[in-house]
Structure 1
Amino acid sequence: MGPDIGLQLPCRLPPSRLVALARDAEHAGFDEVWIVEDCFYAGGVATAASVLAATERVVVGIGILPTVVRNAAFTAMELAALADLHPRRLIAGLGHGMRDWMRQVGAAPASPLTALAEHLDAVRALLAGETVTVQGRYVRLDGVRLEFPPEAVPPVLAGVRGPKSLEVSGRHADGTLLAEPASPAYITAARRAIAEGHTDPRRPHRLAAYTWFHVGEDLDEARDALRPAIAAAVTDPAWAAHLEPLGYAGQARELADLPEEERAGALPDAWIDELAVVGTPRDCAARIGELYRAGADAVVLLPGPDTAGQLARAGADLLPLLRS
């Protein structure tokens, strides 16, 4: 027994490449593939629809759709269509969206927590076939009911990171999607914050975690493949919530004071080992086990630049080891 294993499809690639990668991931034995809707790459719903149509078994997660750029009823309509066409193969992810991007498109709410809670409640109710009337601060619906609610209702996860948002996820979502880096310490802390809002033990709450990933023959080579991406993230204040449970936040600020070209070289090896699934296949399998024991129901691997090569290597060497 262990977590479901997913692969994050990189938004930096055009949709046609993502569809091919998704087919390869399904063939390699991954349980899930995840679509990222970042500004201003391919749309999450259209890409998910294409990936679902091009595959047969793999579950497709959308991680995430920024709630405030879509009307909740139309979000539910899109998700319902996908879930009806591809039963039990969709996981919907909703979140705040990156604040700077939301400002850039004129959709930054005064209260992100309220906006997220209202959208989660409305979308989940509509997908469940309910008639929804609500006059909220951000969601206003008058007797709205989907004509084609899906028979198999997809879970709706909140893609969030900070304690207050995690509590909202616990109260209003079916699960949580954690962005990378997801260390065992961060997953444990996130589970505690989610529990503040998740008060019904009869309602399961699924936690999926993105994590950087590189498998290789040599630990140092594997670390170096991820070093630039990790250095860039840990020096961004937006990722502070991921580092605080490890006690790294202060050191990350010191790292950020270095010239940009020096940061990757100054990143301690121990940080990479803590913040990623990295090393030999056995190293990676052991780390995934630690993430599972910390509370991750799904571990979603985020490779470095060589996505196709790492996908193949994971399918050949890592997934069989996890399932043996």
Structure 2
Amino acid sequence: MTIPLTDPLTDVPGTARALRDAGYGDLWSAETARFDAFTPLVAAAHAVPELGLGTAIASVFARGPGMLAMTAAALADLAPGRFLLGVGASTPTMSEGWHATPFERPLARVRDTVRFLRAALAGERVSTEFETFAVRGFRLERPPPVPPPVLVAALRPKMIEMAVRESDGLVLNWLSAEDVGTVLRVAEKAASDVPHVAARIFVCPSPRTDVVRGAARRLISTYASQPAYAAFHRWLGRGDLLATTWSAWEAGDRKAATAAVPDRVVDDLIVHGSVEDCAEHLGRYVEAGVTRPIVKLMPLDPERDLMADALALGAALGRATAPGPVRA
């Protein structure tokens, strides 16, 4: 489950305990403009020492390599053996508009950062001239007792191929259960083993289909019109379905772009319906090859309570997967 579910951050320990009791096995964070990727996990680390923790994702453009390594090492020290570090390029809007860092050569920057992190988190002294940055004489004063696996957010073939060759796995985003196979076919051609396949899955357990679809269209039109996600969905075969949305977006007509998102696309990318329907739908991601389905509950229906939905979904997932633990 993605945390935090509610504000403020002081709610996180109690939320984390409730999610553990509901059967969830991992807690993951996101990073946009709400909270950073690490602090919510720190807030949860002592409250639920038996649960896994992960970032999905920390941007390689938001921090320098050394700071990213130190922050990851600190969390790995708090949660030895149960932290996964997900990194990625994020978007030009965040990199350049929010973090004052040029969004240049994202694939190479992610690759170089992964190479640096794997060496640094293993306790090595790093003095290397990478293609996109140089590090001279960096060594963690306290390397983590168990170096965390490093996962890479990947959308298209070149990043997918690099990720499975250089890192410990993938973080996927904004895709359907059926799309997972398309991604994994590329991954499996590039590497014989992909230990971790995490996927952020957007979920709204609500029977009010029209309400959910209406709110989801606004979200999808915004994300799917960003260049990287537009290219991703063209590659996945949604070019014809989203063509009208993209044309309206480029013309500056956000209302028309939103209205043009087809129901089929919403239903592909947003898990919604009854709690039992959502649990069944999440199971299809696992069947397709996702090893860590990361639920991101979305407030698309204002009548829903996120915490109540999280607990109900945990119970439904437990019924669907009994007797094993839920890995959401």
Report if TM-score (shorter chain) is over 0.5.
yes
Counterpart amino acid of residue 294 in structure 2: V
1:194 pairs with 2:187: yes
Determine the C-alpha separation between the residues in 1 that align with 2:96 and 2:138.
Answer: 29
Determine the C-alpha separation between the residues in 2 that align with 1:291 and 1:245.
Answer: 19
1:277 pairs with 2:267: no
Question: Counterpart of 2:141?
Answer: 147
Determine the C-alpha separation between the residues in 2 that align with 1:80 and 1:94.
Answer: 14
Question: Counterpart of 1:4?
Answer: none
Following TM superposition, by how much is the alpha carbon of 1:185 offset from its aligned partner in structure 2, in angstroms?
A: 3.4
1:100 pairs with 2:93: yes
Following TM superposition, by how much is the alpha carbon of 1:129 offset from its aligned partner in structure 2, in angstroms?
A: 2.5
TM-score normalised by L of structure 2: 0.83
Question: Counterpart of 2:203?
Answer: 213
Question: Counterpart of 2:34?
Answer: 41
1:21 pairs with 2:20: no
Determine the C-alpha separation between the residues in 2 that align with 1:110 and 1:218.
Answer: 42
Determine the C-alpha separation between the residues in 1 that align with 2:92 and 2:161.
Answer: 19
Q: Deviations over 1:160-208 (max 9, x none)?
A: 32222222211211111112x221332222223334543xx3x543110
Following TM superposition, by how much is the alpha carbon of 1:17 offset from its aligned partner in structure 2, in angstroms?
A: 4.2
Question: Counterpart of 1:253?
Answer: 243
Determine the C-alpha separation between the residues in 2 that align with 1:313 and 1:21.
Answer: 14
Determine the C-alpha separation between the residues in 2 that align with 1:231 and 1:313.
Answer: 29
Following TM superposition, by how much is the alpha carbon of 1:137 offset from its aligned partner in structure 2, in angstroms?
A: 3.0
Question: Counterpart of 2:70?
Answer: 77
Following TM superposition, by how much is the alpha carbon of 1:125 offset from its aligned partner in structure 2, in angstroms?
A: 1.5
Determine the C-alpha separation between the residues in 2 that align with 1:215 and 1:117.
Answer: 37
Secondary structure of 2:86's aligned partner = strand
Question: For the structure 1 residues 58 and 217, does the alpha-carbon distance in structure 2 shift closer, same or farther, using more than 3 Å as the test?
Answer: same
Determine the C-alpha separation between the residues in 2 that align with 1:42 and 1:243.
Answer: 28
Question: Counterpart of 2:288?
Answer: 294
For these two proteins, the number of residue pairs brought into alignment is 313
Determine the C-alpha separation between the residues in 2 that align with 1:61 and 1:140.
Answer: 27
Determine the C-alpha separation between the residues in 1 that align with 2:212 and 2:108.
Answer: 41
Question: Counterpart of 1:317?
Answer: 316
1:157 pairs with 2:155: no
1:63 pairs with 2:56: yes
Determine the C-alpha separation between the residues in 2 that align with 1:265 and 1:11.
Answer: 28
Following TM superposition, by how much is the alpha carbon of 1:297 offset from its aligned partner in structure 2, in angstroms?
A: 0.8
- Per mean C-alpha deviation after superposition, the further-off stretch among 163-172 and 111-120 is 163-172
Determine the C-alpha separation between the residues in 1 that align with 2:207 and 2:131.
Answer: 54
Determine the C-alpha separation between the residues in 2 that align with 1:238 and 1:12.
Answer: 30
Secondary structure of 2:203's aligned partner = strand
Counterpart amino acid of residue 60 in structure 2: T
8 Å contact 2:245–2:257 — kept in the other structure?
yes
Question: Counterpart of 2:131?
Answer: 137
8 Å contact 2:12–2:43 — kept in the other structure?
no
Determine the C-alpha separation between the residues in 2 that align with 1:220 and 1:310.
Answer: 19
Determine the C-alpha separation between the residues in 1 that align with 2:317 and 2:125.
Answer: 46
For 2:160, which of 152, 155, 166 is the aligned residue? 166
Gaps (5+ residues) in structure 2?
300-304, 324-328
Question: For the structure 1 residues 71 and 194, does the alpha-carbon distance in structure 2 shift closer, same or farther, using more than 3 Å as the test?
Answer: same
Following TM superposition, by how much is the alpha carbon of 1:232 offset from its aligned partner in structure 2, in angstroms?
A: 4.0
8 Å contact 1:226–1:304 — kept in the other structure?
no
Question: For the structure 1 residues 239 and 17, does the alpha-carbon distance in structure 2 shift closer, same or farther, using more than 3 Å as the test?
Answer: farther
What is the aligned-residue identity percentage?
Answer: 27
- Per mean C-alpha deviation after superposition, the further-off stretch among 10-19 and 271-280 is 10-19
Counterpart amino acid of residue 312 in structure 2: R
Q: Deviations over 1:91-145 (max 9, x none)?
A: 1111112212211222124311111111101101121233323111334233433
Q: Deviations over 1:247-306 (max 9, x none)?
A: 222321303428544655554333233223222344323322321222211111112214
8 Å contact 1:8–1:300 — kept in the other structure?
yes
8 Å contact 1:281–1:318 — kept in the other structure?
no
Counterpart amino acid of residue 274 in structure 1: D
8 Å contact 1:219–1:280 — kept in the other structure?
no
Secondary structure of 2:15's aligned partner = helix
Following TM superposition, by how much is the alpha carbon of 1:31 offset from its aligned partner in structure 2, in angstroms?
A: 1.3
Counterpart amino acid of residue 58 in structure 2: L
Secondary structure of 1:188's aligned partner = helix
Q: Deviations over 1:223-263 (max 9, x none)?
A: 56645434543444442244235522232130342854465
- Per mean C-alpha deviation after superposition, the further-off stretch among 256-265 and 233-242 is 256-265
1:243 pairs with 2:230: no
